[in-house]
């Protein structure tokens, strides 16, 4: 089921502060965006359980992390608050900013498919201010979209995914975290490649476990340890990604796309797709093909 924007912890925390909400949009795939105004405030974020990517739209010259008072914000500056990060912020003066709320499993999916990197090893930038002109342009375009119809949903979803790809691509060379446990890199690669080639079939946990030479119990535990999600959730995410590709890069009928992506029927496919994106596959295809926003996918 689609995550409601107000379920995000950072959104809830700002709702209890002096900040005023100027706009809120669900973006599909569990993501959401909000525009906030704030002035003369102090905000503490406990580890939120989700990622928050922010862009300062105006003001912010007097805003800083309490532990980094010599590094203030400014229009065009970016911040990333990770799902496990604890931080305190001081707001002197006024500012307007965009928040993009990202479930960990969405970022994890891009990390594996784009970087061939186990999500736990990914070291993203500190939440203090950083620059990335390409990422700034994508988020600024997302902030400028004021409509709240299905066309805007598709375009917002495409912009959000493109922003995640740019974020990860620009930090692909960053130091990675040392980890223990989980699937070995070569096993993880073998399993994901096998899954990508069998998305059109009814894949069982036992079949996946055999690719790793593990019992179902140990495979399920180690897969979740490595990917931050269950194997079943990973398959569901990759099937949707493949479906989006086929919808926008081919003229295949829905029945054929459903079969290639492992759905029992076109109606089952339509139901699952609409549950994740908020609109039907056919409407999604129409909007994207008539849009100038590219849909950036990272499926193999």
Q: What is the DSSP letter of 177?
A: P
- Between the CA atoms of 76, 42, 163 and 279, what dihedral angle is there, to the nearest 10 degrees? -130
Q: Which pLDDT belongs to residue 127?
A: 75
Domain 185-289 has what CATH class? Answer: mainly alpha
Question: Is the sign of the CA dihedral 61, 65, 71, 76 positive or negative?
Answer: negative
Only one residue has tokens 């089952």, namely 268
Structure token digits, residue 54: 């922010």
Cα distance from N-terminal residue to C-terminal residue, the chain: 25
Q: Which pLDDT belongs to residue 291?
A: 65
Distance of alpha carbon 13 from alpha carbon 9, whole angstroms: 6
Asked if the domains at 5-170 and 185-289 fall in one CATH topology, the answer is no
Q: Which pLDDT belongs to residue 241?
A: 87
Please choose, from the candidates 225, 162, 59, the residue with its C-alpha nearest in 3D space to the C-alpha of residue 234. 225
- Cα separations in angstroms, 178 against 82, 122, 123, 175: 18, 10, 10, 9
Bridge partners of residue 23, in order along the sequence: 35
- Give the burial class of 140: count Cβ atoms within 10 A of its Cβ; 0-12 exposed, 13-18 middle, 19 or more buried: middle
Q: Where are the domains of the chain?
A: 5-170, 185-289
With beta carbons less than 8 A apart as the criterion, state whether 211 and 190 touch: yes
Structure token digits, residue 215: 């019992």
Please tell me whether residue 267 adopts helix, strand or coil conformation.
helix
| pLDDT tens digit at each of 300 positions of the chain | 455 667 899 999 999 999 999 999 888 888 999 999 999 999 999 999 899 999 999 999 999 999 999 999 999 999 999 888 899 999 999 999 999 999 888 888 777 777 777 776 776 766 789 999 999 999 999 999 766 666 677 788 888 988 988 888 887 655 455 556 788 888 888 998 898 899 888 888 888 889 999 888 888 888 888 887 888 888 888 898 899 889 988 889 999 999 999 888 899 999 989 888 888 999 888 887 776 555 555 444
Please tell me whether residue 130 adopts helix, strand or coil conformation.
strand
With beta carbons less than 8 A apart as the criterion, state whether 191 and 212 touch: yes
Distance of alpha carbon 238 from alpha carbon 194, whole angstroms: 12
Q: Which pLDDT belongs to residue 58?
A: 97
With beta carbons less than 8 A apart as the criterion, state whether 185 and 115 touch: no
Distance of alpha carbon 83 from alpha carbon 217, whole angstroms: 27
| pTM tops 0.75 | no
Cβ–Cβ contacts within 10 Å for residue 83, how many? 16
CATH number of 5-170: 2.60.120.10
Buried b (16+ CB within 10 A) or exposed e, 4-14: ebeebbbbeeb
- Give the burial class of 34: count Cβ atoms within 10 A of its Cβ; 0-12 exposed, 13-18 middle, 19 or more buried: buried
């Amino acid at each position: 089921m689609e995550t409601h924007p107000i379920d995000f912890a950072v959104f809830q925390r700002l709702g209890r502060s002096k900040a005023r909400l100027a706009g809120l949009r669900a973006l599909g795939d569990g993501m959401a965006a909000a525009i906030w105004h704030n002035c003369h405030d102090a905000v503490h974020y406990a580890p939120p359980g989700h990622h928050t990517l922010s862009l300062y739209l105006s003001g912010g010259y007097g805003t800083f992390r309490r532990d980094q008072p010599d590094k203030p914000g400014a229009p065009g500056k970016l911040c990333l608050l990770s799902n496990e990060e604890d931080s305190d912020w001081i707001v002197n003066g006024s500012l307007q900013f965009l928040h993009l709320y990202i479930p960990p499993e969405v970022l994890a999916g891009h990390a594996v498919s784009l970087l061939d990197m186990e999500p736990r090893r990914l070291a993203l930038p500190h939440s203090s201010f950083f620059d990335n002109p390409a990422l700034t342009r994508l988020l600024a375009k997302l902030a400028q979209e004021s409509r709240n119809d299905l066309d805007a949903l598709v375009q917002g979803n495409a912009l959000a995914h493109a922003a995640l790809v740019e974020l990860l691509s620009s930090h692909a060379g960053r130091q990675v975290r040392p980890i223990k446990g989980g699937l070995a890199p070569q096993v993880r690669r073998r399993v994901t490649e096998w899954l990508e080639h069998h998305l059109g079939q009814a894949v069982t946990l036992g079949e996946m476990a055999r690719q790793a030479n593990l019992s179902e119990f140990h495979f399920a535990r180690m897969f979740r340890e490595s990917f931050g999600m269950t194997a079943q959730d990973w398959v569901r995410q990759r099937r949707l990604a493949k479906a989006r590709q086929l919808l926008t890069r081919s003229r295949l009928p829905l029945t054929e796309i459903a079969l290639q992506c492992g759905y029992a029927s076109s109606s089952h496919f339509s139901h699952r797709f609409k549950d994740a994106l908020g609109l039907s596959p056919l409407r999604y295809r129409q909007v994207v093909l008539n849009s100038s926003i590219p849909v950036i996918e990272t499926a193999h």
